[in-house]
Chain A
């Protein structure tokens, strides 16, 4: 199975400051079809997960442009340019290049 490792597991950010979350996979997520099957989800407190980023760097519909994703192969990063109070929750990366689908452990973002 692919292992997805997120760092840090928690971070506390002052509103208006940037935040960055790393996700590393134990195998390349680049498929022969040219797509890289890495997604980012946010689970706000008491809610179900919501999609933020698909295929490394594509913002899903309605996701603010302060969220951005980057990376390739096995190393990926989610960045929030200016954290807002509504960004609190747990962020998960997920791979779907092979089964089983695996989520990272999650990174809990709190506001200072």
Chain B
């Protein structure tokens, strides 16, 4: 079964750090680009970051650029999001999702992991 499972969310104070992980299974992880998309409580979907299959291309939303770092380990079938200097507005459910190429549709999504930034 094709699956993405996020982990690493939690409660963190403003200015703190958190590292999210996304474990992939059931498909050839190294053949897909990967993405992080977040959803603040009661709000819509917001793209956060994308990484190409070989990590050659990496992109960020302006709202997280310089604070978040996306990475992947194809040997471990895992995607990561290192989040530093967290702000209250980063509070959201974070989903990982795959696509064939950076413009292609995201066809498999994880269930998400919740990040709460609060003092």
Chain A contacts to B: CB under 8 angstroms? 31, 35, 37, 39, 41, 43, 47-51, 54-55, 60, 90, 92, 94, 96-97, 99-106
**In whole angstroms, what is the CA distance A97 to B102 when docked?**
10
> A102-B47, A106-B44 are known contacts. Are A48 and B105 too (CB-CB below 8 A)?
no
B106 (CB) vs chain A CBs: closest residue: A51
Q: Provide a sorted-by-A list of 19 A–B residue pairs whose CB atoms are within 8 angstroms.
A: A31-B103, A48-B109, A48-B110, A49-B37, A49-B95, A49-B106, A51-B105, A51-B107, A54-B104, A54-B105, A94-B45, A96-B102, A99-B59, A100-B59, A101-B47, A103-B45, A104-B44, A105-B44, A106-B44
Cβ contact of B103, chosen from A41, A49, A97, cutoff 8 A: A97
A38 CB to nearest chain B CB (Å): 10
